[in-house]
Structure 1
Amino acid sequence: MSAVPAGPPVPSPDAGPVLSGVRLRSAVGPAIALTVLSVIFIGCSAYAVYADWTTWALMQRLVSDPGAVGDAELSRGESLFLLASSVQSKALIVMCVVFLVWFHLVRANARVFAQGADRLADGVAVGARFVPSANLWLPYRIAATTWVSSRPLGVDDGSRRFPSALVNVWWGAFAAARVLGWCGGMAYSLAESPGAVRYAVTTMLVGDVLDIVAAVLTPLFAIRLTAMQRTRSAQHPAVAAVRP
């Protein structure tokens, strides 16, 4: 990696300033899009929670009195559950795509602010989510490093304090929701009795509630980190002209 030039970089008419071959890029647009999609996903997850609870109550009635639930009611309950799961899954995929775009941008910007702080390549921020097992801890490591690298400079000790609890709770809720959703889905597909279905939807209900928690925290994390990088860029002479 080349050394930082002694003087300020010459601005380009169609590109931001470059520091050691890395270009700052705006993450504001993806952060706004991610916020909108998070709200939509919260609505889809709330619908999934309703479907989970409806199915749980139906299975509870079936366990207590098998003759109290007819075939038509069972069919409607199953259709509601499957529809809610499908809608939620599609919304999650769209939100994750936009999140990955935003995540790649802020990770690349963080490497400008703290060069050498993390040896993982920028592409790992995207690819880590598709690696089995690693997708539960590697993205968290990248997010935590990006958060620390993007902290604005303070007046006294050189670093303004920004708590990392938001990162920890956000990723913990997201990872737990994914695990519970997978376990509940497997249990549902293998269930052969009302009691087994009730157990499966209970697991999925808890996972869907955690999905809502993670979806609430996702835009908070994105907006806060984007704002931190915007402030940090104003404090860095070499990149002051670009506000991510």
Structure 2
Amino acid sequence: MYPPPASPTHPSYPPPPPLLRPVRGPAILAVVALVADSLVGVVAAVIDLWYANVVDRIIADPTSVTDAEIDTADLVYALSGIVETIAYLAAIVAFLVWLFRVRANAEILAPHGHRRSRAWLILGWIVPIVSLWFPKQIVDDIWDASARSWSSRKGLLHAWWAAWLIGAWVSNVAARVLFSADEADALAAAARFDVVSIALMLVAAVFAILVVLRISGEQEKRRTEMSPVLRPGAPAPTGWA
């Protein structure tokens, strides 16, 4: 629908600017998912160390560990890996939901300030080689569109991306070591190496949470400022949709 035509007693109103969509909900979802993934990671790290200790005991003296204890250790270790994977995937989905929302708002704030199309919000993470910098560029552009005085202060973004790249690489190496381990001592080493990857991903998760909160907070401020406010005594522009 369109605003009513101008008249001496009923002045016309310009079409309202596009409104920013709320980001608080997706931001909370992303933060909760990242925190949950981090907590699962901590539990998984404890299980890794416990499992490595069981393997060490088997290497030192096979008779010191019962078959039931070995079966329990294998089961708990495998289940922890499954739960850890599920939590990680849930965190990815929640982060992408938030990323799509803040990108849509950023396109309103800076229509020509984005180097990558929306398709790269997903493809940028999975296409080899470009995954090393495309996601960072996308978040950089969202940051610049949302920010004001602090747009050039990107130390937090740099720290997040560096932690993510290092953590993802170490995690990938840890997975390869685990799947290629065929001896007891290799299994223990893989479990301990997984603790290192979990610690690095925890650091990346903390920085990711700070990035989510920073961008979301600024967009919420901008959304409040851009909300239409009627002048005192002015007639409401009926018929707008």
Question: What's the TM-score once normalised by structure 2's chain length?
Answer: 0.79
Is 2:115–2:138's contact at 8 Å kept on the other side of the alignment? no
- Give the share of equivalent positions with the same residue, in percent: 28
| Change in CA separation of 1:198 and 1:133 when aligned onto 2, cut-off 3 Å | farther
Counterpart residue number, 2:78: 82
Alignment-derived partner of residue 185 in structure 2? 195
Q: Distance in 2 between the 1:125 and 1:53 partners?
A: 36
Cα separation, 2, equivalents of 1:176 and 1:71: 38
Tell me the number of residue pairs that the alignment of Structure 1 and Structure 2 aligns.
217
1:174 paired with 2:170, answer no
Distance 2:224 2:29 in 1: 24
Gaps of 5+ in 2: 1-12, 229-241
Partner of 2:219: 229
State the alpha-carbon separation in 1 of the partners of residues 192 and 152 from structure 2.
36
Aligned partners of 1:75, 1:177: CA distance in 2, in Å?
A: 30
Whether contact under 8 Å (2:124, 2:135) holds in the other structure is yes
**How far does the alpha carbon of each residue in 1:180-199 deviate from its partner, in whole angstroms, 9 at most, with x for none?**
22221221111111221122
CA distance in 1, matches of 2:61, 2:129: 42
Aligned partners of 2:151, 2:98: CA distance in 1, in Å? 23
Deviation at 1:75, TM superposition (A): 2.1
Q: 1: CA distance between counterparts of 2:79 and 2:138?
A: 34
CA contact (8 A) 1:103 1:126 kept: no
Q: Is the 8 A contact 2:44 2:80 kept in 1?
A: yes
1:10 to 15, 36, 39: 15
Matched position secondary structure for 1:116? coil
Answer yes or no: is 1:53 the counterpart of 2:49.
yes
Q: One-letter code of the match for 1:45?
A: G
User: Which residue among 31, 34, 59 is the counterpart of 1:35?
Assistant: 31
Deviations along 1:54-86, whole A, 9 cap, x unmatched? 122223333444443333322222212111111
Compute the RMSD of aligned alpha carbons: 2.4
The 2-side partners of 1:55 and 1:136 are apart by 33
1:48–1:61 Cα change, 3 Å:
same
* CA distance in 2 between partners of 1:196 and 1:170 (Å): 31
Q: 2:139: which partner in 1?
A: 143
Between stretches 169-178 and 179-188, larger displacement belongs to 169-178
1:215 to 205, 222, 225: 205
Aligned pair in 2 of structure 1 residues 58, 93: CA closer, same or farther (>3 Å)?
same
Aligned to 1:241: 227
User: Which residue of structure 2 aligns with residue 92 of structure 1?
Assistant: 88
Tell me by how many angstroms 1:207 deviates.
1.0
Shift of 1:149: 2.5
Is 1:120 paired with 2:116?
yes
TM-score (normalizing by structure 1)? 0.78
1:100-143 deviations in Å (ceiling 9; x for gaps): 01101212222332332333112212221222333332111211
Q: Distance in 2 between matches of 1:232 and 1:202?
A: 46
Residue 153 of structure 2, aligned match among 154, 157, 163: 163
Shift of 1:34: 1.3
Q: Select the residue among 173, 176, 179 that pairs with 1:183.
A: 173
Answer yes or no: is the 8 Å Cα contact 1:106–1:146 preserved in 2: yes
Higher Cα Rg: structure 1 or 2? 2
Counterparts of 1:67 and 1:163, CA distance in 2: 59
